[in-house]
Amino acid sequence: MPLALANDKSIAEAVALLRGGGCVGLPTETVYGLAADGLNVDAVSRIFEMKQRPTFDPLILHVPEGYDLSRICQPNETARRLIQKFWPGPLTVLLPKTELVPDLVTSGLRTVAVRCPSHPVAQKVLSGFGGPLAVPSANRFGRISPTTARAAQEELGEAAFILDAGSCAVGVESTIVNCVGAPSVLRQGGVALEEVRAVLGSDVGLGEESSPLPLVPGALKSHYAPATSLYRSRRVLAECGTLPDEYAYLFWQQLPKRLPKFYRRLTESGSAREAAARLFQFMRELDAMGVNGIICDPVPMENLGAAMNDRLHRASRGWADWDDSRFRLVAR
Ligand code: TXA
Ligand code: MG
Protein backbone atom coordinates (compact mmCIF):
# COMPACT_ATOMS: atom_id res chain seq x y z
CA MET A 1 0.00 0.00 0.00
CA PRO A 2 1.43 3.42 -0.88
CA LEU A 3 1.85 6.01 1.83
CA ALA A 4 -1.34 8.02 2.23
CA LEU A 5 -0.85 11.77 2.19
CA ALA A 6 -2.58 12.96 5.37
CA ASN A 7 -5.84 14.75 4.49
CA ASP A 8 -9.49 14.55 5.59
CA LYS A 9 -10.15 11.52 3.39
CA SER A 10 -7.12 9.46 4.43
CA ILE A 11 -7.66 10.42 8.09
CA ALA A 12 -11.27 9.16 7.87
CA GLU A 13 -9.94 5.94 6.34
CA ALA A 14 -7.43 5.61 9.20
CA VAL A 15 -10.18 6.08 11.78
CA ALA A 16 -12.32 3.41 10.07
CA LEU A 17 -9.36 0.98 10.11
CA LEU A 18 -8.77 1.66 13.81
CA ARG A 19 -12.47 1.13 14.63
CA GLY A 20 -12.21 -2.25 12.90
CA GLY A 21 -9.32 -3.23 15.20
CA GLY A 22 -6.57 -2.51 12.67
CA CYS A 23 -3.22 -0.74 13.00
CA VAL A 24 -2.34 2.58 11.38
CA GLY A 25 1.00 4.38 11.08
CA LEU A 26 0.74 8.07 11.89
CA PRO A 27 2.89 11.14 12.49
CA THR A 28 3.29 12.70 15.92
CA GLU A 29 5.44 15.73 16.76
CA THR A 30 8.12 13.40 18.22
CA VAL A 31 8.37 10.34 15.92
CA TYR A 32 6.03 8.29 13.73
CA GLY A 33 3.88 5.85 15.69
CA LEU A 34 1.92 2.67 15.06
CA ALA A 35 -1.59 3.16 16.45
CA ALA A 36 -4.32 0.73 17.47
CA ASP A 37 -7.42 0.84 19.69
CA GLY A 38 -5.84 1.03 23.15
CA LEU A 39 -8.77 -0.61 24.93
CA ASN A 40 -9.11 -3.57 22.53
CA VAL A 41 -6.80 -6.48 23.36
CA ASP A 42 -6.91 -7.96 19.84
CA ALA A 43 -5.99 -4.65 18.27
CA VAL A 44 -3.17 -4.09 20.76
CA SER A 45 -1.79 -7.58 20.16
CA ARG A 46 -1.47 -6.72 16.45
CA ILE A 47 0.90 -3.90 17.40
CA PHE A 48 3.17 -6.33 19.23
CA GLU A 49 3.12 -8.65 16.19
CA MET A 50 3.86 -5.93 13.64
CA LYS A 51 6.66 -4.45 15.73
CA GLN A 52 8.04 -7.86 16.74
CA ARG A 53 7.94 -6.38 20.20
CA PRO A 54 8.08 -8.53 23.34
CA THR A 55 4.93 -8.18 25.42
CA PHE A 56 6.96 -7.22 28.51
CA ASP A 57 7.42 -3.78 26.93
CA PRO A 58 4.32 -1.67 27.74
CA LEU A 59 2.67 0.89 25.44
CA ILE A 60 1.73 4.55 25.85
CA LEU A 61 -1.97 5.42 25.59
CA HIS A 62 -2.43 8.53 23.46
CA VAL A 63 -5.53 10.63 24.11
CA PRO A 64 -7.35 13.43 22.27
CA GLU A 65 -7.30 16.90 23.81
CA GLY A 66 -9.94 17.25 26.51
CA TYR A 67 -10.23 13.47 27.09
CA ASP A 68 -11.57 12.46 30.52
CA LEU A 69 -8.39 10.95 31.96
CA SER A 70 -10.17 9.42 34.94
CA ARG A 71 -11.44 6.69 32.59
CA ILE A 72 -7.95 5.26 32.15
CA CYS A 73 -5.84 6.50 35.08
CA GLN A 74 -5.83 8.28 38.42
CA PRO A 75 -4.34 11.74 37.83
CA ASN A 76 -2.66 13.46 40.78
CA GLU A 77 -1.31 16.95 41.45
CA THR A 78 2.12 16.22 39.92
CA ALA A 79 0.54 15.02 36.69
CA ARG A 80 -1.92 17.90 36.58
CA ARG A 81 0.89 20.44 36.75
CA LEU A 82 2.84 18.75 33.98
CA ILE A 83 -0.26 18.34 31.82
CA GLN A 84 -1.21 21.96 32.21
CA LYS A 85 2.22 23.10 31.12
CA PHE A 86 3.17 20.59 28.42
CA TRP A 87 0.00 19.14 26.85
CA PRO A 88 -0.59 18.75 24.07
CA GLY A 89 3.09 17.99 23.52
CA PRO A 90 6.05 15.63 23.89
CA LEU A 91 5.55 14.60 27.51
CA THR A 92 4.17 11.32 28.90
CA VAL A 93 2.91 10.85 32.46
CA LEU A 94 2.98 7.55 34.30
CA LEU A 95 -0.02 7.10 36.65
CA PRO A 96 -1.95 4.29 38.35
CA LYS A 97 -4.22 2.64 35.77
CA THR A 98 -7.95 1.86 35.93
CA GLU A 99 -9.65 -1.47 35.23
CA LEU A 100 -10.58 -0.33 31.72
CA VAL A 101 -6.95 -0.51 30.54
CA PRO A 102 -6.05 -4.02 29.33
CA ASP A 103 -3.07 -5.65 31.05
CA LEU A 104 -1.48 -6.20 27.65
CA VAL A 105 -1.10 -2.41 27.25
CA THR A 106 0.81 -2.08 30.53
CA SER A 107 2.54 -5.49 30.43
CA GLY A 108 0.78 -6.33 33.65
CA LEU A 109 2.06 -3.22 35.48
CA ARG A 110 -0.35 -1.28 37.65
CA THR A 111 0.68 2.00 36.05
CA VAL A 112 -0.21 3.30 32.60
CA ALA A 113 1.73 5.78 30.46
CA VAL A 114 -0.45 8.54 28.97
CA ARG A 115 0.33 11.23 26.44
CA CYS A 116 -1.58 13.84 24.43
CA PRO A 117 0.38 14.57 21.24
CA SER A 118 0.31 18.02 19.63
CA HIS A 119 0.66 16.96 15.99
CA PRO A 120 -2.52 18.08 14.21
CA VAL A 121 -2.81 14.82 12.23
CA ALA A 122 -2.42 12.69 15.38
CA GLN A 123 -5.03 14.89 17.08
CA LYS A 124 -7.47 14.55 14.18
CA VAL A 125 -7.14 10.77 14.22
CA LEU A 126 -7.55 10.68 18.01
CA SER A 127 -10.59 12.94 18.08
CA GLY A 128 -12.14 11.11 15.11
CA PHE A 129 -11.60 7.82 16.92
CA GLY A 130 -12.87 9.34 20.16
CA GLY A 131 -10.80 7.33 22.64
CA PRO A 132 -7.31 6.27 23.65
CA LEU A 133 -4.98 4.75 21.07
CA ALA A 134 -1.93 2.72 22.00
CA VAL A 135 0.89 4.25 19.92
CA PRO A 136 4.47 2.95 20.18
CA SER A 137 7.13 4.30 17.84
CA ALA A 138 6.66 2.71 14.40
CA ASN A 139 9.94 0.78 14.33
CA ARG A 140 10.64 -2.90 14.78
CA PHE A 141 11.76 -3.64 18.32
CA GLY A 142 15.21 -2.33 19.23
CA ARG A 143 15.63 -0.21 16.11
CA ILE A 144 15.72 3.52 15.49
CA SER A 145 12.38 5.34 15.70
CA PRO A 146 11.18 6.64 12.31
CA THR A 147 10.86 10.38 11.84
CA THR A 148 9.49 10.25 8.29
CA ALA A 149 6.65 8.23 6.76
CA ARG A 150 9.10 6.51 4.44
CA ALA A 151 11.27 5.40 7.36
CA ALA A 152 8.11 4.07 9.05
CA GLN A 153 7.34 2.12 5.89
CA GLU A 154 10.85 0.65 5.83
CA GLU A 155 10.24 -0.59 9.36
CA LEU A 156 6.68 -1.86 9.04
CA GLY A 157 6.66 -3.06 5.44
CA GLU A 158 4.72 -2.15 2.31
CA ALA A 159 1.43 -3.56 3.60
CA ALA A 160 1.08 -1.04 6.44
CA PHE A 161 -1.32 1.89 6.11
CA ILE A 162 0.70 4.99 7.01
CA LEU A 163 -0.44 8.61 7.04
CA ASP A 164 2.30 10.82 5.62
CA ALA A 165 2.71 14.35 6.97
CA GLY A 166 6.42 14.94 6.35
CA SER A 167 9.19 14.98 8.96
CA CYS A 168 8.58 15.13 12.71
CA ALA A 169 9.44 18.48 14.27
CA VAL A 170 10.86 17.20 17.58
CA GLY A 171 12.61 14.06 16.36
CA VAL A 172 13.18 12.29 19.69
CA GLU A 173 10.49 10.45 21.67
CA SER A 174 8.45 12.02 24.46
CA THR A 175 9.87 12.58 27.92
CA ILE A 176 8.37 10.08 30.39
CA VAL A 177 7.76 11.28 33.94
CA ASN A 178 6.84 8.82 36.66
CA CYS A 179 4.17 10.65 38.67
CA VAL A 180 3.66 7.89 41.24
CA GLY A 181 5.39 8.91 44.46
CA ALA A 182 8.36 11.27 44.19
CA PRO A 183 8.39 12.33 40.53
CA SER A 184 11.28 11.22 38.35
CA VAL A 185 12.14 11.34 34.66
CA LEU A 186 12.27 7.77 33.31
CA ARG A 187 13.09 8.64 29.71
CA GLN A 188 14.59 11.92 28.58
CA GLY A 189 12.95 13.22 25.44
CA GLY A 190 11.20 16.10 23.72
CA VAL A 191 10.73 18.14 26.91
CA ALA A 192 14.13 18.87 28.48
CA LEU A 193 14.85 17.82 32.08
CA GLU A 194 15.40 21.51 32.95
CA GLU A 195 11.86 22.29 31.79
CA VAL A 196 10.38 19.50 33.92
CA ARG A 197 12.38 20.74 36.91
CA ALA A 198 11.12 24.28 36.33
CA VAL A 199 7.59 22.97 36.92
CA LEU A 200 8.11 20.30 39.60
CA GLY A 201 11.22 21.49 41.41
CA SER A 202 14.93 20.92 41.13
CA ASP A 203 14.91 17.64 43.06
CA VAL A 204 13.26 15.70 40.21
CA GLY A 205 15.66 12.84 39.59
CA LEU A 206 16.44 10.53 36.72
CA GLY A 207 14.62 7.23 37.17
CA GLU A 208 17.45 5.10 36.00
CA GLU A 209 19.84 6.46 38.59
CA SER A 210 17.51 5.76 41.47
CA SER A 211 16.25 2.40 40.20
CA PRO A 212 18.36 -0.71 39.66
CA LEU A 213 15.83 -2.14 37.18
CA PRO A 214 15.03 -0.53 33.84
CA LEU A 215 11.55 0.67 34.81
CA VAL A 216 11.09 1.81 31.25
CA PRO A 217 12.15 -1.03 28.96
CA GLY A 218 13.08 1.64 26.38
CA ALA A 219 15.87 2.24 28.85
CA LEU A 220 17.43 -1.14 28.02
CA LYS A 221 21.14 -0.67 27.54
CA SER A 222 21.07 -1.52 23.84
CA HIS A 223 18.21 0.12 22.00
CA TYR A 224 17.64 2.45 19.09
CA ALA A 225 20.45 0.65 17.30
CA PRO A 226 21.38 1.02 13.63
CA ALA A 227 22.67 -2.12 11.85
CA THR A 228 26.11 -0.52 11.30
CA SER A 229 28.15 -0.28 14.51
CA LEU A 230 28.12 3.20 15.95
CA TYR A 231 30.97 4.63 18.03
CA ARG A 232 31.11 7.94 19.86
CA SER A 233 34.13 10.21 19.81
CA ARG A 234 35.13 12.12 22.94
CA ARG A 235 37.05 14.63 20.82
CA VAL A 236 35.47 17.02 18.35
CA LEU A 237 35.98 15.18 15.06
CA ALA A 238 36.86 18.32 13.10
CA GLU A 239 39.89 18.71 15.37
CA CYS A 240 41.25 15.22 14.71
CA GLY A 241 43.45 14.62 11.65
CA THR A 242 42.35 13.41 8.24
CA LEU A 243 39.29 11.27 8.84
CA PRO A 244 39.47 7.84 7.15
CA ASP A 245 36.80 7.18 4.51
CA GLU A 246 36.07 3.66 5.75
CA TYR A 247 33.69 5.23 8.30
CA ALA A 248 30.70 7.55 8.04
CA TYR A 249 30.64 10.57 10.37
CA LEU A 250 27.90 12.28 12.28
CA PHE A 251 29.18 15.79 12.95
CA TRP A 252 27.61 18.05 15.52
CA GLN A 253 28.32 21.48 14.04
CA GLN A 254 31.95 21.95 13.03
CA LEU A 255 33.13 20.37 9.75
CA PRO A 256 36.76 19.29 9.22
CA LYS A 257 38.91 21.01 6.59
CA ARG A 258 39.04 17.89 4.46
CA LEU A 259 35.53 16.45 4.26
CA PRO A 260 35.23 12.66 4.49
CA LYS A 261 33.27 10.79 1.84
CA PHE A 262 30.25 9.98 4.03
CA TYR A 263 28.92 12.37 6.62
CA ARG A 264 25.97 14.31 7.99
CA ARG A 265 25.98 17.50 10.05
CA LEU A 266 23.39 17.77 12.82
CA THR A 267 23.20 21.53 13.09
CA GLU A 268 24.61 24.54 11.28
CA SER A 269 23.70 26.95 14.09
CA GLY A 270 24.48 24.82 17.16
CA SER A 271 20.79 24.41 17.99
CA ALA A 272 19.93 21.26 19.98
CA ARG A 273 16.34 21.40 18.71
CA GLU A 274 17.46 21.41 15.10
CA ALA A 275 19.88 18.56 15.80
CA ALA A 276 17.29 16.44 17.64
CA ALA A 277 14.85 16.77 14.74
CA ARG A 278 17.50 15.35 12.38
CA LEU A 279 19.24 12.77 14.57
CA PHE A 280 17.29 9.57 13.79
CA GLN A 281 16.93 10.31 10.08
CA PHE A 282 20.67 10.92 9.77
CA MET A 283 21.45 7.72 11.70
CA ARG A 284 19.27 5.87 9.19
CA GLU A 285 20.97 7.51 6.22
CA LEU A 286 24.49 6.82 7.50
CA ASP A 287 23.44 3.26 8.29
CA ALA A 288 22.54 2.76 4.61
CA MET A 289 25.98 3.82 3.30
CA GLY A 290 27.65 0.43 3.65
CA VAL A 291 30.60 1.64 5.73
CA ASN A 292 32.60 -0.16 8.45
CA GLY A 293 31.18 1.99 11.19
CA ILE A 294 29.56 5.29 12.11
CA ILE A 295 31.54 7.70 14.28
CA CYS A 296 29.72 10.45 16.08
CA ASP A 297 30.83 13.81 17.46
CA PRO A 298 30.35 14.70 21.13
CA VAL A 299 26.90 16.25 21.64
CA PRO A 300 26.59 19.08 24.19
CA MET A 301 24.41 18.06 27.16
CA GLU A 302 22.22 21.19 27.34
CA ASN A 303 18.55 21.09 26.54
CA LEU A 304 17.58 18.22 24.20
CA GLY A 305 21.26 17.24 24.10
CA ALA A 306 20.70 14.99 27.12
CA ALA A 307 18.03 12.98 25.27
CA MET A 308 20.27 12.78 22.19
CA ASN A 309 23.24 11.57 24.21
CA ASP A 310 21.01 8.97 25.82
CA ARG A 311 19.89 7.62 22.41
CA LEU A 312 23.43 7.72 21.00
CA HIS A 313 24.75 5.90 24.03
CA ARG A 314 22.19 3.10 23.66
CA ALA A 315 22.78 2.92 19.90
CA SER A 316 26.55 2.71 20.30
CA ARG A 317 28.99 -0.18 20.49
CA GLY A 318 31.55 1.95 22.29
CA TRP A 319 34.09 4.72 21.84
CA ALA A 320 36.22 5.78 18.88
CA ASP A 321 39.43 7.27 20.29
CA TRP A 322 41.58 9.26 17.88
CA ASP A 323 45.14 8.00 18.07
CA ASP A 324 47.53 10.04 15.92
CA SER A 325 46.27 9.08 12.48
CA ARG A 326 43.54 6.53 13.08
CA PHE A 327 40.67 5.60 15.35
CA ARG A 328 40.97 2.98 18.05
CA LEU A 329 37.55 1.41 18.56
CA VAL A 330 36.87 0.43 22.15
CA ALA A 331 33.77 -1.59 23.04
CA ARG A 332 31.83 -0.33 26.03
O1 TXA B 1 7.06 10.11 21.63
C2 TXA B 1 6.58 9.04 21.96
O3 TXA B 1 6.30 8.76 23.14
C4 TXA B 1 6.32 8.01 20.84
C5 TXA B 1 5.26 8.58 19.89
C6 TXA B 1 4.86 7.60 18.82
O7 TXA B 1 4.15 9.03 20.62
N8 TXA B 1 5.93 6.76 21.40
C9 TXA B 1 6.83 5.96 21.99
O10 TXA B 1 6.33 4.74 22.41
O11 TXA B 1 8.00 6.26 22.13
P12 TXA B 1 7.28 3.47 22.65
O13 TXA B 1 6.33 2.35 22.89
O14 TXA B 1 8.19 3.32 21.53
O15 TXA B 1 8.03 3.80 23.98
C16 TXA B 1 7.30 3.83 25.17
C17 TXA B 1 8.17 3.63 26.36
C18 TXA B 1 8.75 2.23 26.40
O19 TXA B 1 10.13 2.32 26.73
C20 TXA B 1 7.97 1.59 27.53
O21 TXA B 1 8.76 0.66 28.19
C22 TXA B 1 7.62 2.77 28.40
O23 TXA B 1 7.36 3.79 27.51
N24 TXA B 1 6.39 2.52 29.18
C25 TXA B 1 5.13 2.45 28.74
N26 TXA B 1 4.28 2.17 29.73
C27 TXA B 1 5.01 2.06 30.85
C28 TXA B 1 4.73 1.77 32.21
N29 TXA B 1 3.49 1.53 32.63
N30 TXA B 1 5.77 1.74 33.09
C31 TXA B 1 7.03 1.98 32.68
N32 TXA B 1 7.35 2.26 31.40
C33 TXA B 1 6.38 2.29 30.49
MG1 MG C 1 10.01 2.94 20.78
pLDDT digits (tens, 9 = 90+) for 233-260: 999 999 999 999 999 999 999 999 999 9
pLDDT at 213 over 50: no
Q: Which atom of ligand 1 is nearest to the CA of 113?
A: 26
Task: Tell which phi-psi region holds residue 171, choosing left (phi > 0), alpha (psi between -120 and 50) or beta.
Answer: left
pLDDT tens for each residue of 149-198: 999 999 999 999 999 999 999 999 999 999 999 999 999 999 999 999 99
Residue % of the chain over a pLDDT of 70: 95
Of the ligands numbered here, which is closest to the C-alpha atom of 174? 1
Q: Are 311 and 246 in contact (CB under 8 A)?
A: no
| Beta strand segments in the chain, E | 4-5, 24-26, 33-37, 60-62, 91-96, 111-115, 133-134, 163-164, 175-178, 184-187, 205-206, 230-232, 248-251, 263-265, 294-296, 316-323, 326-331
Work out the mean pLDDT of the chain and round it to a whole number: 94
Rounded to two decimals, the pTM is: 0.92
pLDDT at 328: 97
pLDDT at 142 over 80: yes
73 C-alpha to center of ligand 1: Å? 16
pLDDT at 6: 98
pLDDT at 210: 41
Of the ligands numbered here, which is closest to the C-alpha atom of 134? 1
pLDDT at 209 over 60: no
Q: Which atom of ligand 1 is nearest to the CA of 112?
A: 29
Residue % of the chain over a pLDDT of 90: 89
pLDDT tens for each residue of 38-71: 999 999 999 999 999 888 899 999 999 999 999 9
Q: Rounded to an integer, what distance in angstroms lies between the CA atom of residue 303 and that of residue 192?
A: 5
pLDDT band of residue 107 (cuts 50, 70, 90) is: very high
- As for ligand 1, residues whose beta carbon falls within 6 Å of it are 28, 30-31, 33, 57-60, 90, 92, 94, 106, 109, 111-113, 115, 117, 135-137, 173-174, 176, 215-218
